[in-house]
Amino acid sequence: MARVLLYATGQLFGEAVGACLRREELVDGVVVVHDALAVAGTARGSEVDIVLYDITAGGALTAVRALTDQLVEVPVVALTASPNADDVIAYVDSGLVAWVPRDSTLDELVGVLAMALRGETSCDSKVTRSLVDELRRRRESSGVVEAVELLTRREAETVRLLEQGYTNKEIATELHLSVATVKHHVHAVLSKLELTRRAQVGELVRKKPWLLRSA
């Protein structure tokens, strides 16, 4: 059996859902909170096992992220509108372990809570594919960021000028270096970014412009 903390912006809605949950065998008790700032403290003071958080209000995910940072051991489940793939990715980023559309049945809600308490979750197949694609994108981006962080200051400056189409001679003039030194920097940049042609540097930066900020 589990103690549940329910956060809901609407008092009537929160009390109604809380009353329904108290009748379930899974639930040992329900604490209903309507003040977002009181959720973390109440969860710790009441020693709850799981948090059910209504995120339909604007800006709720920022609050959820702060909450999950404080309640590392307590799973947080979202009450939400029917989410799409982008929503789910944002939920996962904020630290939510599962989500329940507000038009779900009580049995469905309890089922999700039970799974979350077991360390499990369920996900629509299309959303799962989107999550896989997002993980792949982040892995690829992470590798590039790590490479960029290995660039020296001169190599980073070389990246900026390569992106603008500068020749080695023009880079040498701009940076007050010899052409031989510039060739060395260009070779190092291509090696660290795992590229084979200088034109690919510009292509990479245009595809991921934030790399210039990292450099």
Domains by residue range for the chain, with CATH: 2-123 (3.40.50.2300), 129-214 (1.10.10.10)
User: Which residues are registered as beta bridge partners of 80?
Assistant: 101
What was the pLDDT predicted at 210? 57
What was the pLDDT predicted at 50? 95
Backbone angles phi, psi at 72, to 5 degrees: -60, -35
Q: In a structure prediction context, what are the per-residue pLDDT tens digits for the chain, which is 215 residues long?
A: 899 999 998 899 999 999 999 999 999 999 999 998 899 999 989 899 999 999 987 678 888 888 988 888 899 999 988 777 777 778 888 889 998 888 889 999 999 999 999 998 877 666 667 667 766 666 655 545 555 567 788 888 888 888 888 999 999 999 998 999 999 989 888 888 788 888 888 887 776 665 665 45
Extract the tokens encoding 203. 């292509």
What was the pLDDT predicted at 12? 93
Extract the tokens encoding 114. 């039970």
The string over 174-213, giving b where at least 16 C-beta atoms fall within 10 Å of a residue's C-beta and e elsewhere, is ebebeeebbeebbebbbebbebeebeebeebbeeeeebee
pTM (2 decimals)? 0.61
What was the pLDDT predicted at 27? 92
